[in-house]
Amino acid sequence: MALTVLVTGAAGFIGMHTCLRLLAAGHRVVGLDNLNAYYSPALKQARLARLQALPGFSFIRADLSDTAAVAAAFAAHQPSHVVHLAAQAGVRHALEHPYDYSASNLTGATAVLENCRRHGVRHLVFASSSSVYGGNTRVPFAETHPVDHPVSFYAATKRANELMAHSHAHLFGLPVTMLRYFTVYGPWGRPDMAIWRFTDALLAGRPIEVYAGGALERDFTHVDDAVAATVALLERPPSRQTSTDPARWQASSPDTSWAPFEVYNVGRSDPVSVNTLLALLEQATGRQALRQELGMQPGDVARTCADAGKLARAIGFSPSVPLAQGLAGFVAWFRKHHGR
């Protein structure tokens, strides 16, 4: 059955790919984005142009912190499902611009939650982040691990989003699924992320800033895998548990309650170091990196690694894109997109 899906952050990286997947499945998609200048609006416009060329897609330009505009979008389109991907991203940007995060990630998220419950949305799929695991040293990161010590303001806002969403699930019966994405990359990706920056520098012959000796490890997840999981979960809303005895759920895992609420890690469960990433990009570009060695940056963590077992049990998730293949595809797209 065709759904009407509101996708916030539709001109963003994961947003565009999610819209494409939903449209290909025959759903009606309403995209919402403010096209802000955190990174090149031209890239966002180019993504948006791909979507606007397809039947079944409509677009609203609005800022999530404009609560009246968000309410109007819900009232006009009456979405049955919502994929909330819009957020102010970036760990380092938050060091100098924290109010950008409170406006988008807190006020904006509140507007989405409130309108979902007021308009009877059947399922809200909400982007969180692997950054909520903060300073955890126990790997792989599992949904049952404590997430009470964020090491960046961005991470703090995403953890706040999880708590806010749970409260709406508990109070109003709004089915919510939170997705903790692990370093998603691929064609049409974000210019502020390492794979884009490294590729750009390699092709231009510029030095590459390498932090902590390149020993930092990340669980890189191809966008095709991340979107496949997102769309598969969209039609599987969590249900309210039959028991409302706190003793039952408090004794079990921390991500369990009687509310219709679930949290899933979305990652490959196969972290690699920045040094390995650079070597693979050197191979894909045919260029040798010029390294500029720097220390550990505020807000960074040494390693991320997803335990994706819960997601596998729920939807049979198994990542299909190996890192070397995904990086080669990204470099090919990058060369074409920039005419290099």
The CB density around residue 146, as the number of other CB atoms within 10 Å, is: 10
Q: Which of 38, 39, 133, 154 is catalytic?
A: 154
**Is the distance from CB of 202 to CB of 281 less than 8 angstroms?**
yes
**Is the distance from CB of 58 to CB of 30 less than 8 angstroms?**
yes
Angle between helices 323-338 and 194-204 (to 10 degrees): 60
**Is the distance from CB of 143 to CB of 272 less than 8 angstroms?**
no
Nearest Cα residue to 293 out of 183, 185, 225, 210? 210
Is 264 a catalytic site residue? no
Nearest Cα residue to 239 out of 122, 328, 111, 88? 122
Distance CA 50, CA 18 (A): 12
Q: Which residues are catalytic?
A: 154
